[in-house]
């Protein structure tokens, strides 16, 4: 889990993705983790880094396009 709240608050455009095939490729799992900040065991991890659902979706969509220079497509 990255300190995504810090990135956003500092104006850093961070993209999110999976490490598939090492981890599940479902982006909803990553969004869930970014919003809830809980480990697989249910332990809270750096709750100050939580972001809202729309911010998490943006990490996987527009920010990903921006990172690959495709935001204007």
Would you kindly state where each structural domain of the chain is located, as residue ranges? 4-67
Grade residue 36 by pLDDT with cuts at 50, 70 and 90.
very high
pLDDT single digits (tens) 8-29: 999 999 999 987 788 788 999 9
Cβ within 8 Å of residue 56, ≥6 positions away: 16, 30, 31, 34, 35
**Cα separation, 33 vs 48, whole angstroms:** 13
70: left (phi over 0), alpha (psi -120 to 50) or beta: alpha
For position 41, what pLDDT does the model report?
93
Cis omega before residue 21 (within 30°)? yes
For position 24, what pLDDT does the model report?
81
Q: Using the predicted structure, report yes or no on whether residue 30 has a pLDDT greater than 80.
A: yes
E strand or H helix at 46, and its extent? none
């Amino acid at each position: 889990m990255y300190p995504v709240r810090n990135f956003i608050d500092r104006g850093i455009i961070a993209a999110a993705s999976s490490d598939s095939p090492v981890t599940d490729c479902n982006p909803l799992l990553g969004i869930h983790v970014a919003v809830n900040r809980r480990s697989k065991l249910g332990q809270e991890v750096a709750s100050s880094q939580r972001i809202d659902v729309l911010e998490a979706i943006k990490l996987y969509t527009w920010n990903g396009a921006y990172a690959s220079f495709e935001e204007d497509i």
